[in-house]
Amino acid sequence: MDDTTLWRRAFWGLARLAVAMALFVFVPAGTLGYGRGWVFLAVFLGASLAVTVRLLRSDHALLERRLKAGPTAESRPLQKVLQGLAGLGFVGVLVLPALDVRWHGPRWSWAVSLGGVVLVALGYGIIARVFQENSFTAATIEVGAGQTVTTTGPYAVVRHPMYAGALVLFLGIPLALGSPWGFGASALVALTLVGRILDEETLLVRDLPGYEAYRRQTRYRLIPYVW
């Protein structure tokens, strides 16, 4: 993919994400005066833009892998189902808190919501660090040509640090939006991450030389001292 096409696809995808997320937040809320929604979207989309720009400058191959995403991009049937469920969870974690705030008002103080925003930023920071360490973090489950096992940085702590960052991010969203209603959708996303990890490790043990040894060396998959 040439540079111009990559830039166009990356920013068009980001623009569509921004529009979709704004609709999922503000339409259920019934108002544009949803301050927590604006703060959350500014941080989430700002982090997305920063990561996209960095990849455009330093790692086109990784950005191309990340642009190939979603259920239809997966080759494994189970992953198609899991990605579909994760997509529903992503929509739910935005829509449900917005509905709750519309009908009942924010459940928490601004201090709690700002704490949620910090978790969103922290989750994105973990993901960005993973991208820096491993250029093969595709959005689909596959082993790329020339891929080797990454054991450094966050991969020395857990085997799937990108999913750990996503878990932190999705725990922060309901707090940021001011409602516990989103935690049910966050739980759905967490369950899909568990299923995705278990299936992915089957592929990696089979197709990525050295992964079995790495799995024995790095005990925890997602959360240190837990799992």
Q: Is 227 within a domain?
A: no
Q: Is 171 within a domain?
A: yes
Q: Is 62 within a domain?
A: yes
Q: Give, for all 227 residues of the chain, the pLDDT tens digit.
A: 667 888 899 999 999 999 999 999 999 999 999 999 999 999 999 999 999 999 989 888 888 888 887 788 888 888 899 999 999 999 999 999 999 999 999 999 999 999 999 999 999 999 999 999 999 888 788 888 888 999 999 999 999 999 999 999 999 999 999 999 999 999 999 999 999 999 999 999 999 999 999 999 999 999 999 99
Cα 142 to Cα 79, 131, 193, 202, 203: the distances in Å are 11, 16, 16, 11, 8
Q: Is 222 within a domain?
A: no
Q: Which residues of 45-81 are buried (b: 16+ CB within 10 A; e: fewer)?
A: bebbeebbeebeeeebebbbbbbeeeeebbebeebee
Give the domain extent around 213: 3-217
Q: Is 9 within a domain?
A: yes
For residue 105, how far is the Cα from the chain centroid? 27
Q: Is 81 within a domain?
A: yes
Q: Is 223 within a domain?
A: no
Q: How many domains does the chain have?
A: 1
In this prediction, residue 4 carries a pLDDT of 81
Q: Is 31 within a domain?
A: yes
- The enclosing domain of 105 has a CATH number of 1.20.120.1630
